Amino acid sequence: MNFNALLLPLFVQVALTLGLIFWGGFLRVQAIRGGSTKVHEIALGQPGWPEQATKVINAYHNQLQLPVLYYLLIALVLLVAPATPGMVVLSWAFVLSRLFHALIHVTTNNVPRRFFVFLAGVAILTLMWLIFAATVLLGL
């Protein structure tokens, strides 16, 4: 399979991460300019941001945790193993789980639902790593 098939979900994941940081930054600048947040109230990381800005930035921070293992895996797959249709499907499934996780985070922030989607992403990524390890270590 063409390795480009793995790049599209990777680019979507990167776009999600960048979109959240720009959106969060915009909301934070708005809060300071609008006067609802004072710089001295948040200068040392205090929780003084408006709720929506906090939701978006927290969603952004979540994209810097579990997806790091996804980025590493995709880089390794592109270097070492063939991009199989199964790996592409799992890659999309993982990225969709991250999109849904972020969507829940920035809207309802329903913690049980968010956790279930997070857990699904962990399971998908674990399966991807197991497949990769079997392919590389066992030659499957």
Query: Is 47's pLDDT higher than 90?
Result: no
How many distinct structural domains can be found in the chain?
Answer: 1
Q: How far is Cα 20 from Cα 93, in angstroms, rounded to an integer?
A: 20
Whose CA is closest to 30, among 50, 47, 45? Answer: 50
CATH code of residue 23: 1.20.120.550
CA distances from 52 to 25, 33, 36, 43 (A): 11, 16, 12, 18
| CA torsion through residues 71, 99, 89, 133, sign | positive
Mean pLDDT (whole number) for 5-29: 96
Segments forming the whole domain that contains residue 57: 4-138
**Would you say residue 2 has pLDDT above 80?**
no
Entry pTM: 0.92
